Amino acid sequence: QQIQWFPGHMAKTIREIGEQMKLVDFSLEIVDARAPQSTQNPQIMDMISVKPVFLVLNKIDLADPKQVAKFVSKNKNQFAGILTTDAKTGVLSKDFLRQLKVNPIFAKLSEKNAAANLKALVTGTPNVGKSTFINHLAGKNIARTANTPGVTHFLYWIRTRYNLIFLDTPGLLWPKFDDQEVGTKIGILGGIKDTLLASDDLALWLISFLQKNYPTAIATKYKIGHFPLDNPVAALMSITSQLGMRQDFESASQRLINDFRAGKLGRISLDFYGDDYLED
Ligand code: G4P
Does the beta carbon of 130 sit less than 6 angstroms from any atom of ligand 1?
yes
Residue 124: CB within 6 Å of ligand 1? yes
Give residue-wise pLDDT tens across range 6-57.
666 788 889 999 999 999 999 999 999 999 999 999 999 999 999 999 999 9
Q: Is the minimum distance from the CB of 135 to ligand 1 under 6 angstroms? A: no
Q: How far is the CA of 278 from the centre of ligand 1 (A)?
A: 31
Give 211 Cα–ligand 1 centroid separation in angstroms: 26
Using the predicted structure, report yes or no on whether residue 235 has a pLDDT greater than 50.
Answer: yes
Which pLDDT score is estimated for 5?
Answer: 54
Region 8-168: CATH code: 3.40.50.300
Q: Whose CA is nearest to atom 36 of ligand 1?
A: 88
Is-above-0.90 flag for pTM? yes
- CATH code reported for the domain at 198-278: 1.10.1580.10
- Residue ranges per domain, the chain? 8-168, 198-278
Q: What is the C-alpha to C-alpha distance for residues 234 and 104, in angstroms, rounded to an integer?
A: 52
ipTM exceeds 0.90: yes
pLDDT above 50: residue 4: no
Give the model's pLDDT for residue 182.
96
Nearest CA to ligand 1 atom 19: 129
Decide: 181 and 2 in contact? Cβ < 8 Å: no
Q: What is the pLDDT of residue 193?
A: 83
pLDDT digits (tens, 9 = 90+) for 135-180: 888 886 565 554 444 556 788 899 888 889 999 998 888 888 889 9
**Phi then psi for 148, rounded to 5 degrees?**
-130, 125
